[in-house]
Every structure is written in C-alpha cells, then in structure tokens.
Amino acid sequence: MRDFMTFDELQLTDSLLKAVKAEGYTTPTPIQAKAIPHALAGKDVLGVAQTGTGKTAAFALPILQRLSAKAPAGGARPVRCLVLTPTRELASQVSDSFVTYGKNLPLRHAVVFGGVGQNPQVQALRQGVDILVATPGRLLDLIDQGFVTLRALEVFVLDEADRMLDMGFIHDVRRVIKVLPQVRQTLFFSATLPPDIMDLARNILKDPVRVEVSPASSTAETVSQQVYFVEREEKRALLTHLLQDAKTIPRALVFTRTKHGANRVAKQLTAAGVRADAIHGNKSQNARERALDEFRAGTLRVLVATDIAARGIDIDGLSHVFNYDLPNVPEQYVHRIGRTGRAGASGQAVSFCDSEERAYLRDIERTIRRSVPVVADAAFRSQLPPPLPGDVEESRPPMNRGGGQGRSSGGQSRQASGGGNGQAQRSGGQGRSQQPRPAVASPAAGPSSPPPRRTMSKWG
C-alpha cells in the first residue's frame, strides 16, 4: 500500500474531507495512508504505531464514514462503535477527535471514564450514542449496572493495547471482549507487540491486515537530542538553570520516574519562579484536566509527568522535552521525546544522566542506533566512573549549555494526528525480561534510586 499524497485520494466523503481540511490537514501520515483504505473496506486491522503518528485519525475517519452511511434518524440509538482506551486523558482526546472530524455528520458521541461521577455519563448514554469511547473499569461498571449494552456493536477499537497490559487492565479488556458480538470489525492498535498482546490480537482479529510504521527504535529527525552527565543531587538545580530562559524554552514537558518525584520537581520549579505543575495517577481527574488545559493554553509553562500520565499528550508547539530521570526501558525514551518535533516542527530533547543511569543511556543509544551528544558543563558535570565495555564515549563534541543548536526546521505539510493518557494503577512485567544492571561506583542507593533495567522483547 503506497503512501497517499493527499486526503482526497483516500476516498473519504465530502463531509469528512471538509472537517479534515478545516483543521489544516492536507497530507495523511503513513499510518493513516496505510490503515484507512483497509478500514474503509471493512477489514480487521492490526496497527503497530506509536502515539503521535496520527493513529487516532487512522481509525476515527473510516469509522465515521461507515456509521454515517446508515445513521439512525434520531431518538434512542444503540452503541455501534466502541473505542477502548487505557486512560482517561486518552479517552478524552480520542473523543475530541471524533467530535472534530464528525462535526458535519449526524452521529452522537460519548466518553466514559472513572475518577468522576457517572451521572452525566449515564444521562448521555440514555439519550443514545453511536460512538462510545471508554476506559475498561468504568465501562464494566456501567455494563454491570445495565446502562450499556453492546449487542448492536459494529466496530470495536482497542487502542494502545500494550499500555493496557502495562497498567494491568488486560483482564478487564478480556471481560469486555466477551460481551461483544462475534460479527464485527476490529481495529487493534499497539506501539509494541509483546507475547500477551499478540495472543490477544490472534484471538479477536479475523484475517487482519497488518500495518506498521515508526518502529520504537526510531526517533524523529526533527528532534535534536542531547544529554548532561550530572549527579542526582544536582539535577533539580540544572533543570531550574536551563528553564530560566523562557524565550529559548517557552514550554517544556519534564519526565520523572515516580509520582512523588514529579511532585517534588514541580514544587521546586515553582519556588524558583518557574510556573509548573505535576500530572500523575494520584492527582484527581479535575486537577489533571486543569493542568493539561493550562499547559495547552500556555499559561502553565512546565508540566512534570510520569510516563503513563504523559503518554499520548498531544500539545501543538511543544518545544522541549526533559528526561529528568532516564527511563529503564529504552523504547520509553522514544515515546517520551516523540512529544516534541511533531508534524515537521523542530523540537529539543534534553536528558539528565547520573552515575547510576549510565547503563540506561547505553541501552537507549543501542536502541536508537545513534549516540546522544553530550553537553560539556563544568558547573554540573558528573564525576563518572570509567566507561563500561561498549559504553558511550565521552569524546563527543560539546554543545552549548541549555541547548538550542542543531534544531531543524520542518517544512512538511501538516499531518493529522491524534491520540493521548492517564494514571498508573499498576505496571506489568509481561513480555519483558529483567537483567541486572552493571555495577558502577555511585552513592548508596536510596528510595529514589533507579529500578533495574528492563528490556522489551522484539516482535516480528
């Protein structure tokens, strides 16, 4: 399947093309070009794509076209499409995409998730909806209470299936699948395909077409990367120092490994005069939505987040991503820095690496098949041990403090994207093997020390 040059070639209806063009999109992303024709033909699709590749539009547009072809005239109507997402933020963003692209169509949409009262959601369901976007827990609650029936379902979308596994929701997903009609179209999207997810896909997909783009080992060319070697106790001072230049860094997303770490970093930045807030699973839904809204609007300059809370956040014009803590799963680094440099725009990814994270950096560089340039800064430079066998080299050219060089400007056509994320209830280790971290001379490990490295298996 070749990549289409314009949305006009995808055989979408005039109503959908009008909505797409109203958003300024002219060129489909690779996942859209590959998946939309098969989805329009009614085939099951196994899509392997990361957040930020435009996968939400890849399933939303063909679903809207299919359902609008025989939309009910009005009154109560059954759920005809179910989109299951792992988190509240992603559910909200997917729902927003259906509203945006379906604004010229006579279809009803609703989104249900936990963390808020269910009464408004129940009222929307009673009025009848064609498209329901939901998280597993709240959906099962509403099914058990008799507020949701899926007997008339035509299309089922499982979005970010691997994240469902990581968050421990796979059992709930299987419960939902049991109540779905056997005859349906299924669109299955996942950034990775660990064994449990492949087993699930085989069980629910019928003669699927597999489409795959942007493997997890690749990073966008529009994102300039750099790393500071800095001791753990100096990280907050370095981050505060870099964020003082609001012109160079107008808006930044900062990743920490833990929820408590996110709170501490946000509090320290605010005390230093850099307005920041944290987003993670312990925050209330209202607090998280407020922080996201302020960050999108630009009134909040820095958002500090954990991986699960930030996955799928789609912010136009995000200039910088900071890895305050390096991830112990190298593929997660790709997901993180993919928040910037979207749709042809340039972005900057800045990582902090302390002595205990040296092995994580080596794994990341092996995964992305390139070295991350080191910033030489005497004020914050770590006293690192000698390089480990196969470790990164320290003879790379230094870069300016704070980073601004090497950023490329994108002139590509703007591409439709979609898709977002939420709280960490629990994480699963399925499909991953743990291996010991090589010993390095470093201060005694405390409660905030990095966890063991985890390597994600590769799937064909």
**Tens-digit pLDDT profile for residues 264-323:** 999 999 999 999 999 887 787 788 888 988 998 889 999 999 876 666 567 777 889 999
Cα within 13 Å of Cα(94), Cβ side: 36
Class of domain 223-409+420-425: alpha beta
Q: Per mean pLDDT, which of 63-67, 213-217, 394-398, 411-415 is the most reliable? A: 63-67
Please state the rounded mean pLDDT for residues 42-47. Answer: 97
Please state the rounded mean pLDDT for residues 194-204. Answer: 93
pLDDT value at residue 174:
95
What is the per-residue pLDDT across 385-415, written as a single tens digit (0 to 9) for each? 444 444 443 333 333 333 333 333 333 334 4
What would you measure as the largest C-alpha separation in the chain, in angstroms?
72
Report the phi/psi class of residue 391: left, alpha or beta, with left for phi > 0 and alpha for psi in -120 to 50. beta
Higher pLDDT, 341 or 389: 341
In whole angstroms, give the CA distance from residue 313 to residue 162.
17
Q: Is CATH 3.30.413.10 the right assignment for the domain spanning 7-212?
A: no
What is the per-residue pLDDT across 242-253, written as a single tens digit (0 to 9) for each? 998 888 898 999
In whole angstroms, give the CA distance from residue 135 to residue 142.
11
Residue 455: pLDDT band (50, 70, 90) is: very low
Higher pLDDT, 45 or 431: 45
How far is the CA of 70 from the CAs of 129, 157, 458, in angstroms? 14, 19, 42
pLDDT value at residue 335:
80
Give the pTM.
0.60
Would 7-212 and 223-409+420-425 be classified into the same CATH topology? yes
pLDDT value at residue 75:
64
Least Cα distance to 336 among 211, 325, 267 occurs for 325
Higher pLDDT, 72 or 56: 56
Q: Where are the domains of the chain?
A: 7-212, 223-409+420-425
